[in-house]
Structure 1
Amino acid sequence: MSADKGPLEGLRVVDLTQVVVGPYATQFLADFGAEVIKIEHPSGDLARWIGGRSPTPGMAAKYLHLNRNKKSVALDLKKPGALDALKKLIATADVVVHNMRPPAAARLGLSPGDLIKIKPDLIYCSVVGFGQEGRYRDKPAYDSIIQGASGLAAINNFGDGLPRFVPMVIADRTVGILVAQCITMAVVQRLRHGGPQVVEVPMFESMTAFVLAEHMFLRTFDPPLGGAGDSRLLDPNSRPVRTADGFICVTANTDEQVFAMFRAMGRPELCADPRFAEKRARFEHIGEMFRLRNEAFLMRTTAEWVALLEAADVPAMPLHTLDSVLDDPHLAETGLFQKVEHPTEGTITNLRNPVKFSSYEPALKQTAPHIGQDSEDVLRGVGLSQQEIDAMARSGAMVQHRPVAAAA
């Protein structure tokens, strides 16, 4: 494989998703070489508007970090000509992905049956809030709904019993990674066995399985050996540890790590303490071990503890804030943060895809597009005449945005 050819080079993806879960998935595909054509309503993806201020309206930071390396076509599918144009595009595609509720997709003529008639070997992926065999199938879903329904918000309670949402759209992003994996597997399936392939990725079931793989715990067994919830992770003292001047994150699991930590704490006698001398006993007394650790760590600064623990080969890192992590020297050395010039937004910080293949490294080929930035080029490429394109533009069925370059 050529070093400049991604593993998904030549794959055309028609992306009807918006906000986070779908765009996060398709950005992975785009980073690895797929041609992702983002279909937006002329008003734009909601993420353009709910991610804070931007130099140009509709280019919020969240949108920029979810839509690089994509093209944008703006279509109002309820206006004449737009749906036909979309179907001509789908006839040239390998993958269609959307996060509409299935009845809405069917009303638009975008059900699996409708589109497989157009492209017999199509990979059709729908990202749904709830599995379509269950009673919740028609419910709308956002990240917060899924965090609450899956049990994630209940266990994120800081030890006070009050449920809290994780302060990022973790359900959308977790399921987004799964969507990218499923589409890639469907591509392999088609290559080996032919198509079509219809894929449904439900957020509720996916996140519930994600949470319960950790926390079903003793209810895994029938009859149950106890309650759900990994007590080691749910202990109130299982948190960043306060030091004399800040916080540190430390995890000691193996005998060697735990005993090295005890010695660094100045408590070597704990190595022989029957409560902590072997793994099963430590688990039964994990709360007490955490309490002793937290008390001891107040005696030194974060830097002192990092040095001690690194010398003892105990996993530890200082606690970063959202601001301080931007200045982490390791991340600077690995190039996670890239200063790039956006055509209209000026200098922005791009989050480089950190994954590397021996024959390919994903790179920024195109910054996130404006609404409909590529409408005319894409539609002309699938056979629409200039007359048809102009008629759609006059009726509002299609929008072509011509961005004005940022001032020097």
Structure 2
Amino acid sequence: MEAKLAHGPLTGIRVIDMTSVLMGPFASQALGDMGADVIKVEAPQGDLVREIGPARNDGMGPVFLNANRNKRSIVLDLKSKEGMQAMHRLLEGADVLMYNVRPQAMARLGLAYEDVAAVNPRIVYAGLFGFGQDGPYAARPAYDDLIQGAATLSSLIAQASGGIPRYVPTAIADRVVGITGVNGILASLLARERTGRGDKVDIPMFETMVGFVMGDHMGGLTYEPPLDRGGYARQLSPERRPYQTRDGHICALVYTDKQWRGFLREIGRETLMEEDARFSTYAQRSQNVDYVYGVLAGIFMERSTDDWMRLLERADVPFMPLHTLESVLEDPHLKATGFFRIVDHPTEGAIRSMRAPMVWKNNPPSEPRPAPRLGQHTREVLAELGYPPEQIDVMAAAGARAGARAGAG
């Protein structure tokens, strides 16, 4: 089977990507960015996320464009005999199968791990879904918002702000779990090189996010009996926020004793750490974090943002600008590293694309291919699987008809 693979650390690895929306596609995009040949298997109606956000053409919205580069899209109706036969052919030559529906749904399709391993025992079978399969939530559906709340993020926001519970305004659970899934897949591929065996790896959202959040906030609940009610005081301080300046805001963190001495020297208050025990050591500042951050908030209002940037640079105190969605596009560091680039998409025209952040010296990935149109590579992939042209025509037409029926419904 001929594979049109990109260059990169994962050159030669073929991923069959049955995932949709964000968590799974974000993970499979990362594998594609590293050079894997990612074949995105879409139902005839396509990935739902294609329709999210403003778009120039149907099915090519911005969330889809930014989570599906370096993939080839093939439309298969897995409810049909022909579609499942093609899926089996894909699995025969694959290294990884990724899915993010509930495992029970995979079993109903005839694609449980045992079914897939019978076709290809070397495959890494990776499921990214809501809950571990040994608990009472096993069959529940899950979305980012639900997991944020269940993993305590929303209540922590309310505690820190003195307001109502809210969700983080980004799909943080989908993305954290997606990255965790990449780690699990890469580890399984490495183990396969050593053992010759594939594996089944489950990446549940709930357990992953509870561990992610509670690593910071377990606090005294770490001990039995508990020493307190949990929570990392600095992160939960209502004063932990960007500082207001005379003309805007700035993000700054005066953290270590060295940074405090440099900061106080620059503002002419060198003796504060000796005069006020609440500032004297890291431990004291942590115990009095609300007061300390409150004092800092007052100090930062005395100067302009530009003045603070120069002062903090001299004092070697970490700082960053408070960006908006628009201003981050003009960040000088991101411009210098070429993070945002205007590229020409074959159907969407000029679009702003973000490059993969990792850089390799000896195995640099090739230029990314743009996110695909629905079914763009169906004929190409089916030809690689050995289907004759006349059968490809029939299968492509059947997929188009199924998609039209789904759209009408």
Pair in the same fold by TM > 0.5: yes
User: Which one of the candidate residues 294, 299, 314 is aligned to 1:296?
Assistant: 299
Aligned-pair RMSD on alpha carbons? 1.6
Q: Which structure 2 residues correspond to residues 7-156 of structure 1 after superposition, within 5 A?
A: 7-50=9-52, 52-156=53-157
Q: Which structure 2 residues correspond to residues 326-341 of structure 1 after superposition, within 5 A?
A: 326-341=329-344
User: Which one of the candidate residues 375, 392, 396 is aligned to 1:372?
Assistant: 375
The yes-or-no answer on 1:213 pairing with 2:205 is no
Deviation per CA, 1:284-323: give whole Å up to 9, x if none.
1111110110001100001101100110100011211111
User: Structure 2: how far apart are the matches of 1:166 and 1:203?
Assistant: 16
Shift of 1:267: 2.6
The answer for the alignment partner of 1:247 in structure 2 is: 249
Gaps of 5+ in 1: 402-408
The answer for the alignment partner of 2:352 in structure 1 is: 349
The answer for the alignment partner of 2:175 in structure 1 is: 173
In structure 2, the CA distance between the partners of 1:68 and 1:17, relative to structure 1 (3 Å rule), is same
**Aligned pairs, how many?**
397
Q: Choose 382-391 or 110-119, whichever is displaced more.
A: 382-391
Shift of 1:164: 0.7
Deviation per CA, 1:98-128: give whole Å up to 9, x if none.
0010111000011000000000111100111
Q: Which amino acid aligns with 2:45?
A: S
In structure 2, the CA distance between the partners of 1:285 and 1:365, relative to structure 1 (3 Å rule), is closer
Please tell me whether the aligned partners of residues 255 and 279 of structure 1 are also in contact (alpha carbons under 8 angstroms).
yes
User: Structure 1: how far apart are the matches of 2:290 and 2:258?
Assistant: 19
User: Structure 2: how far apart are the matches of 1:349 and 1:360?
Assistant: 25
The answer for the alignment partner of 2:278 in structure 1 is: 275
Three-state SS of the structure 2 residue aligned to 1:268 is: coil
Shift of 1:397: 7.3
Three-state SS of the structure 1 residue aligned to 2:38 is: strand
In structure 2, the CA distance between the partners of 1:87 and 1:343, relative to structure 1 (3 Å rule), is same
User: Structure 1: how far apart are the matches of 2:92 and 2:331?
Assistant: 47
Please tell me whether the aligned partners of residues 65 and 371 of structure 2 are also in contact (alpha carbons under 8 angstroms).
yes
Please tell me whether the aligned partners of residues 379 and 396 of structure 2 are also in contact (alpha carbons under 8 angstroms).
no
In structure 2, the CA distance between the partners of 1:362 and 1:394, relative to structure 1 (3 Å rule), is closer
Shift of 1:399: 8.0
Q: Which structure 2 residues correspond to residues 387-402 of structure 1 after superposition, within 5 A?
A: 387-396=390-399
Please tell me whether the aligned partners of residues 129 and 204 of structure 1 are also in contact (alpha carbons under 8 angstroms).
yes
User: Which one of the candidate residues 358, 363, 368 is aligned to 1:360?
Assistant: 363
User: Structure 2: how far apart are the matches of 1:398 and 1:90?
Assistant: 25
Shift of 1:66: 0.6
User: Structure 2: how far apart are the matches of 1:370 and 1:400?
Assistant: 14
Please tell me whether the aligned partners of residues 375 and 400 of structure 1 are also in contact (alpha carbons under 8 angstroms).
no
Percent identity over the alignment is 44
Q: Which amino acid aligns with 1:207?
A: M
Please tell me whether the aligned partners of residues 9 and 364 of structure 2 are also in contact (alpha carbons under 8 angstroms).
no
Deviation per CA, 1:370-389: give whole Å up to 9, x if none.
00000111112112233332
Please tell me whether the aligned partners of residues 241 and 297 of structure 1 are also in contact (alpha carbons under 8 angstroms).
yes
Q: By percentage of residues, which structure has more helix?
A: 2
Q: Which amino acid aligns with 2:112?
A: S
Three-state SS of the structure 1 residue aligned to 2:81 is: coil
In structure 2, the CA distance between the partners of 1:99 and 1:197, relative to structure 1 (3 Å rule), is same
